[in-house]
Amino acid sequence: MSFDQNGSSSDVVIDVTGLTKRYEIYAQPQDRLKQMVLPRMHGLIGGCRSSYFKDFWALRDVSFSVNRGEAVGIIGRNGSGKSTLLQMICGILTPTSGSVRSAVRIAALLELGAGFNPEFTGRENIFLSGLVYGIPEPILKSRYQDIVDFAEIGEHINQPVKTYSSGMYVRLAFAVASFSDPEILVVDEALSVGDVYFQRKCFRRIDELRQTGCTLLFVTHSTDTLLQLCDRGIVLDAGQLVFDGPTKPAVAEYLRRVFGTRAKFAVVDSLESHEIPELSDVIEQDDHQHMAASGRQELFASRAGYNRSEVRVGNGAATVLDFLFKGQRGDSPILHSREHFCLMVKYLFNSPVERVIFGLQIRTREGLAVYSANTFSTKNLLYSYSPGDVVIGEFELRNSLLPGQYFVTVGVSQYDGNGIDIDAFDRRVDSIILTVVGDMRHTNGLADMEMDARISPVSLPH
């Protein structure tokens, strides 16, 4: 990569090479003093030097470059090194090894109130932060009212920022950063503090900045935000860069690392004695045969997309053994808006049962049910089974959900003799985490109703 004398090129605005950050972790405070004194004493007397700390590698050999005008999202689990990376890009932390090169103005919103003096008023902090960003005072004065209007904190602008709420803090910080003519805007989850209205306002402002050629570096845990704002995704895991590419594959890799991949078959049911085929033997078969091959094993919790925090209820007359989204074997469930899909679920019956129904429910992260159905409500069918019976249900649906993450509940139950009350055999509540990707900009809400609008002129008499 060629840089001129000032360290910049026509396209690359950030160049990260071999970036590494190591911390020394001490078990107790006195170990710091031991580390300062004892190794030197051992060296003088020819003894073996001891270390009284453990190495923690926040980042290990991370390299990538960002081109002018790109929107790059950095995603990863807590502790993966995202914030450390941004702080080194912004010059707040010094790397243990490696380098970061950038010769353009970076406006950073890394943490709540970073760069603000809590004793100063909002007005004073606008000018303080603006000068730190390199904006001349006359220009700051001309933009002052725009910043205040965007922040929407009213008369509090003349109060010390130590009296501000977290929402007011981040409103003012983002307003100052976004009106500082940044060539690179760096945001580290700070927008999650604001309410939905303010977040939407910030995203519009980010779009405006991007249209002027501003580069965006954005850290988030929200996959739908990453897909909405960014062209490219970088996935960090345990301090290492594990993926760098388009956003949809980046989200898939992140979800795979968070929720895991399908584990190898493990025999957990004494009823099953035959040898389970190797994955290479069954991968060529269709998904129905693949599920059937595992017999009576309960593999539900080994599937990618399984929610470890599920709630399970029922009387045990049947067991939900396994699930699979057809065509996504081994991957965390990801659907595109408006596509048709099939959820496959396998059940084992432990008792003789009649009037059986199979159902599912989809809920938002807040617990709002957006869809519920069962085989009686949709097909007017009831089933009967004997002990040891194994069946696979295939539920064909069309995805009308908007981008985001949802929880799927699956279960098998029984209507009572009057056909009114439902007794659960095995209901796995919020057991599957489903991610929907797509473009949110054409509509808002939970579901896509596919509005077709026709606007007709009306001829009025003169």
DSSP for 396-454, written as a single string: EEE--BPSEEEEEEEEEEEE-TTS--EEEEEEEEEEEEEEEES--TT--SSB-------
Domain spanning 261-437: CATH superfamily: abc- transporter (atp binding component) like domain (2.70.50.60)
What share of the chain has pLDDT > 90, as a percent? 30
pTM reported for the whole predicted model = 0.60
149: region left, alpha or beta (phi > 0 left; psi from -120 to 50 alpha): alpha
DSSP for 210-274, written as a single string: HHTT-EEEEE-S-HHHHHHH-SEEEEEETTEEEEEEEHHHHHHHHHHHHH--PPPP----TT--S
Per CATH, is 66-257 categorized as 3.30.70.270? Answer: no
152: region left, alpha or beta (phi > 0 left; psi from -120 to 50 alpha): left
CA 302, CA 298: separation in Å to the nearest integer?
A: 9
pLDDT digits (tens, 9 = 90+) for 162-195: 888 877 888 888 888 888 888 888 887 666 655 6
pLDDT digits (tens, 9 = 90+) for 205-241: 888 888 888 888 888 877 767 877 788 999 999 899 9
CA 442, CA 369: separation in Å to the nearest integer?
A: 23
Q: Give pLDDT, residue 191.
A: 64
Query: Which ranges of 45-102 would DSSP assign to H, the alpha helix?
Result: 82-89
DSSP for 93-127, written as a single string: S--SEEEEE--S-EEEE-STTTT--TTSBHHHHHH
Q: Give pLDDT, residue 280.
A: 36
Distances (CA, A) of 378 to 341, 381, 452: 17, 8, 27
CA 162, CA 116: separation in Å to the nearest integer?
A: 9
CA 72, CA 57: separation in Å to the nearest integer?
A: 23
Q: In which residue ranges of the chain is CATH 2.70.50.60 found?
A: 261-437
Q: In which residue ranges of the chain is CATH 3.40.50.300 found?
A: 66-257
Least-confidence region, from 102-106, 188-192, 372-376: 188-192
pLDDT digits (tens, 9 = 90+) for 426-452: 999 999 999 887 755 556 677 878 777
CA 361, CA 374: separation in Å to the nearest integer?
A: 9
